[in-house]
Chains A and B, each alone.
Chain A
């Protein structure tokens, strides 16, 4: 087995791509297609953690399994919507890769960046490679001025208070060494996007080597995303929590 993994003296790694889904019937198929398109020479598996979607997401995934193979696409569903953190933990249990990539299922994260995550990690031996929308080469499409202002204000506040060591705190397109993800996730308790912030801040505090790659983010092709007063309050609460407990 060892000689199969080594080509020209280089070790070949396996990547587990973890995608939590809820009502992403069309998007999950497109994502799977794009992952296979952009990771041709890579050993990977896609783990779909679906929370009992009523729109037939799981049926589509089963068809994709027929097409691509059940060893390449794993469906590890749950009965109902149970939250992102637990979805990652659940998916992690079934991951057989050396690395775990987490990404969103709504096409805001494009699989074409997967090779750059992998390359960055191999070059730097980083424990975590996180995608950032806020640097040159990255970017966001689909945000109006108000949304950009909120995002920028939130980011400056978080940088001032937390000194997080990354430019994009709430991003959820990341590659982790499997053991690092297991370690960090066990100490996180927040929900939603505060959870993503908590993950990266705790990883920084623990001294893990974190690198960034630019990514572009196209907001919600199908469906709607919301940012209202309650999200802002939740964010501020999350900041204070992280300020005091990390």
Chain B
């Protein structure tokens, strides 16, 4: 099944539930009408939260840059000894 079909089915199911709520009037209709807005806003907030958390926990590796420079020097020395002219980048 294509992914978009899965997502649309999910949306249809949620919409059907919402319409059902409207008709059954268990919750006052004025509240039910606003549910889609609450849903979209919550989704947006959740997204922003995930971005914020991810940003705070973003893994960095400053020591890797140093290690890489060491590796580059090691490689350049090796090639100098073997007579391969790598020049400078």
Q: Which residues of A contact B (CB under 8 A)?
A: 25-27, 29-30, 33-34, 56, 60, 63-64, 67, 107, 110, 133-142, 148-149, 152-153, 155-157, 160-163, 205, 216, 218, 221-223, 243-246
Contact = CB atoms under 8 A, between A and B. Distances in A.
Given A29-B75, A246-B3, A153 B59 contact: no
Contacts of B30: none
Contacts of B16: none
A244 B3 CA distance: 7
B57 to A, nearest CB: 9
A141 B62 contact: yes
Nearest to B50: A156
Given A25-B87, A156-B47, A221-B72, 4 more contacts: A26-B89, A107-B72, A152-B55, A153-B51
Contacts of A64: 84
Given A34-B75, A205-B3, A140 B84 contact: no
Contacts of B72: 30, 107, 221
A64 B84 CA distance: 8
Contacts of B75: 29-30, 33-34
Chain B, interface SS category? helix
Nearest to A244: B4
Contact of B55 (A110, A135, A149): A149
Contacts of A222: 89
Nearest to B6: A163
Nearest to A27: B89
A26 B87 contact: yes
Given A33-B75, A33-B79, A141 B60 contact: yes
Interface residues of B, number: 31
A246 B2 CA distance: 6
Nearest to A142: B65
A140 B58 contact: yes
A221 B82 CA distance: 24
Contact of A149 (B51, B76, B78, B79): B51
Contacts of A140: 58-61
A138 B4 contact: no
Given A30-B72, A110-B68, A139 B51 contact: no
A133 B3 contact: no
B54 interface: yes
A67 B72 CA distance: 18
Contacts of A133: 59
B71 A30 contact: yes
Nearest to A59: B85
5 contacts: A25-B89, A29-B84, A138-B61, A216-B61, A246-B2
Given A148-B55, A149-B55, A243 B60 contact: no
The 5 lowest CB-CB distance pairs between A and B, nearest first, are A26-B89, A139-B61, A139-B59, A222-B89, A33-B75
